[in-house]
Amino acid sequence: MMMKKYKWQAAFICLALGMVSFIPASKKLTIYLIGDSTLAVKSASAFPETGWGMPFANFFSKKVLVDNRAKNGRSTKTFISENLWAPVVSELQKGDYVLIQFGHNDEVKTKASYTSEIDFVKNLSKFVQESRAKGAIPVLITPVARRSFDTDGKVKETHQVYADLVRELAKSAAVPLIDLDLKSQALLQQYGADQSKLLFNHLEPGEHPNYPDGKKDDTHFNELGAREMAQLVLKEMRALNLPVLSYLVK
């Protein structure tokens, strides 16, 4: 009788262990990046153009997944209309982060991606509210600066209106803010009008096979520029004391 009892217990334990093996592992804490080309993942054919989200992913341990959903040319309007936002919302879990950086394409009236100031705030609010509804933590980021200097060598503000809209929303909705516009301007000023070219996709003819005719791009970064911008984002995350920083690579 005792032997049958032990056999039954052993069978139960084996069954339980078997069931455990079919329980899916819990999803990693995820940092979603949504935005435009300045942070997006680039194809090999675009190299050395590099979005700052690419080196940013290397800051965190394997316990964190950095899921970069940013896309070239997107605004808040097209990120929603092209169904890029809905999949993010469906996957969000409590404790995840959503880093939100738009403005470059929203502000240009000649582009199909143009978004009025009212709709820009409305769309950003949608990202914030729907993230919070899933228990995720939204972080607003002002649009990163373009390389633009006046004749006296002083860096120029290139996103004043839309950057201010992000700042105002962050304040009114109590959303953590990374003022990348301001911080990147300061960085460009440190480099200066000429040396700041080293951060952007500036190439002479014949310098790289992807750009045989050369490239003069004051919006998109090369590898060095992307790392510098990613470091600025990380520094501001430290200033905000975001809990996810406990998972940084040592």
Please report whether residue 57 resides in a domain. yes
Q: What distance lies between CA 232 and its chain's CA centroid?
A: 12
pLDDT(4) > 60: no
Please report whether residue 138 resides in a domain. yes
C-alpha 197/C-alpha 43 separation (Å) is: 22
Of residues 96 and 10, the one with the higher pLDDT is 96
The pLDDT confidence band at residue 9, using thresholds 50, 70 and 90, is: very low
The three-state secondary structure class of 23 is coil
Please list the residues that pair with 33 across neighbouring strands.
68, 99
Please report whether residue 10 resides in a domain. no
50 CB burial (10 A radius; 0-12, 13-18, 19+): buried
Structural domain boundaries, residue 113: 27-247
Q: What is the pLDDT of residue 28?
A: 85
The angle that helices 117-133 and 160-172 make with each other, rounded to 10 degrees, is 40
Please report whether residue 121 resides in a domain. yes
Cα dist from 235 to 76, 104, 208, whole Å: 25, 22, 32
pLDDT(29) > 60: yes
Q: pLDDT, tens digit, for every residue of 113-158?
A: 999 999 999 999 999 999 999 999 999 999 999 999 999 999 999 9
Contacts of 125 (CB under 8 A, 6+ apart): 169, 173
Tell how many helices (H) and how many strands (E) occur in the chain.
8, 7
Residue 57's CATH number: 3.40.50.1110
Share of the chain above pLDDT 70, in %: 90
Please report whether residue 6 resides in a domain. no
Domains identified in the chain, total number: 1
Q: Which two tokens stand for residue 238?
A: 């430290």
Please report whether residue 78 resides in a domain. yes
Please report whether residue 159 resides in a domain. yes
Q: Which among 196, 183, 190, 245 has a CA at the least distance from the CA of 224?
A: 196
Please report whether residue 211 resides in a domain. yes
pLDDT(2) > 50: no
